Amino acid sequence: MNIKETHRNRFEIIKDLPRHINVCEIGVLTGVFSQFILDTVAPEKLTLIDPWFFNESGGDSTNASQHIQDGRYSQILKTFDKEIKSGAVEVIRKKSSCISEIFTDSSFDFMYIDGSHSYHDVKKDLENCFNKTKVGGAIGVDDYHPNWIGVYRAVQDFIQEKGGDISIEFYSGVGGGSSPNIFFKVLNK
């Protein structure tokens, strides 16, 4: 599959999103990208989903002890305290699969996936995000690169399955101060 590469990183691409939209970020970690989205897009609502749990079976480089994960979660609550109280930010401490039960279809204008990097989890996140994103909305995926084989294969399979229902808007390769990302626009359902 041939995908045209841009040299814009995810931060530059986020700057092009419309303001005051409904945004969901899956995989928040310490909230650096969440804060950037909040400051740049000024979303109507920003939903942050992360389980902040220690994965005993391993995982990626962000896996840490439960004590550290609890600290990350506490820091998120402090960082976004004002926005949480105003209803502008919602923090959900659950696995990303919860979106299929919590949100109605077509709830979000933009969804960003940077959670588990396993093939199964990324594929499920893509399917759920496709259902929860409005037609005309977009989905972004972090770490789309063969070095992250689970992410890479899940995205490749998703592209094959959805075909004309999505269009690939941007692929930012390695470099530019950001990991590789791919962004899709939802065309049909």
Q: Which residues of the chain have pLDDT under 70?
A: 1-7, 56-61, 173-178
What per-residue confidence (pLDDT) applies to 133?
Answer: 97
What per-residue confidence (pLDDT) applies to 61?
Answer: 59
For the entire predicted model, the pTM comes to: 0.91
Residues ≥6 apart with Cβ < 8 Å to 181: 9, 10, 13, 140, 141, 142, 143, 144, 170, 171, 172
What per-residue confidence (pLDDT) applies to 1?
Answer: 45
* Tens-place pLDDT, residues 50-83: 999 877 666 665 778 889 999 999 999 999 999 9
Alpha helices in the chain (DSSP H): 10-14, 32-41, 66-79, 81-86, 99-102, 119-132, 149-162
What per-residue confidence (pLDDT) applies to 60?
Answer: 61
